[in-house]
Amino acid sequence: MPQLSATTEVLLDRELVIYRRERSNVWQCRYKVDGKWQRTSTNERDQTKAKVKAKELMIEAKLAKPEIDKYRPSLVLPDINRQVQDNSPSKEELAIAENLRNSYLQTLEGDYKNFNGFNVTAKNSEAEFPVSFTPSDDEKVALKNALSNFDQEAYFTSRWIRNDKPDIQQIMKDIYLLENSEKAFQKIANETAAKMQEHLIKSTSNIKIKPENQSTFTPENSKSEMDKMASLFFSS
């Protein structure tokens, strides 16, 4: 039998065991039928419920075996080798797939340096500020290498599945940003510019709590402070 771990519990010695796989909250079970180990999921996250389910599954399997044995002589097994051969891609299909991959890799190699990141223009009632985020050359190379052997199934499974359940918040966030990135970035940039303008007006206002600290607002001072704030918030 496999070595026991902290997530394994023996219910019947050498007959019935429940266990949890790494990164999973669902309990699995192993049980013996006619001297052979069978494995299946209890579909339960609660350990107590998993114990009950595991016992039910073992009993059902033991009761079903005599009925299955009765029909075994008449069962005709499929010709697996023939099926595998029939489902194999033809030389033409393999050649098309190879050409598509080579075309993709050539395009990736030629175009990845042209990826300039993201650009948006932040606007408020007084001015407009171009804002950009450009990945470094090392980041571009790393992204190109990842895309050279990109496994979309593994990528989205690791990103969108948590504890055997879909992470709906992450899925919605990714899809929304994918389809509405320009609108989202524009909204963030405009609100940042508006907040910056609000802060600028407050910081340069001649209305002070202490009279002795009053100062006079001038357009020159405003322009200087606005330039400083723009440099602080929107430098790439």
Beta strand 27-33 with 16-20 is antiparallel
Quote the pLDDT of residue 151.
86
Quote the pLDDT of residue 180.
92
Q: Give residues with Cβ within 8 angstroms of 178, minimum separation 6.
A: none
Quote the pLDDT of residue 89.
78
Residues in the chain: 236
Q: What value does the mean pLDDT of the chain take?
A: 80
- Amino acid letter at 4? L
The pair of structure tokens assigned to 58 is 């073992």
User: DSSP state, 136?
Assistant: -
Quote the pLDDT of residue 1.
46
- Amino acid letter at 20? R
For residues 162 and 173, give the distance between their C-alpha atoms in angstroms, rounded to a whole number.
15
Quote the pLDDT of residue 3.
47
| Per-residue confidence band for 227, with pLDDT thresholds at 50, 70 and 90 | low
Quote the pLDDT of residue 85.
57
pLDDT digits (tens, 9 = 90+) for 128-157: 878 888 999 999 999 999 999 888 888 888
Q: Give residues with Cβ within 8 angstroms of 20, minimum separation 6.
A: 7, 8, 26, 27, 28
Quote the pLDDT of residue 208.
53
Quote the pLDDT of residue 152.
84
Percent of the chain topping pLDDT 70:
76
Quote the pLDDT of residue 228.
56
For residues 54 and 29, give the distance between their C-alpha atoms in angstroms, rounded to a whole number.
6
In angstroms, what is the C-alpha Rg of the chain?
A: 32
pTM greater than 0.75? no
CA distances from 218 to 75, 127, 215 (A): 95, 17, 9
pLDDT digits (tens, 9 = 90+) for 205-215: 755 545 555 55
Domain spans of the chain, in order of start: 8-74, 111-234
Average pLDDT over residues 70-81: 64
Residue of 225 and 122 predicted with greater confidence: 122
For residues 141 and 171, give the distance between their C-alpha atoms in angstroms, rounded to a whole number.
26
Contact 166/174 with Cβ under 8 angstroms?
A: no
pLDDT digits (tens, 9 = 90+) for 80-110: 665 555 567 788 888 998 899 899 999 999 9
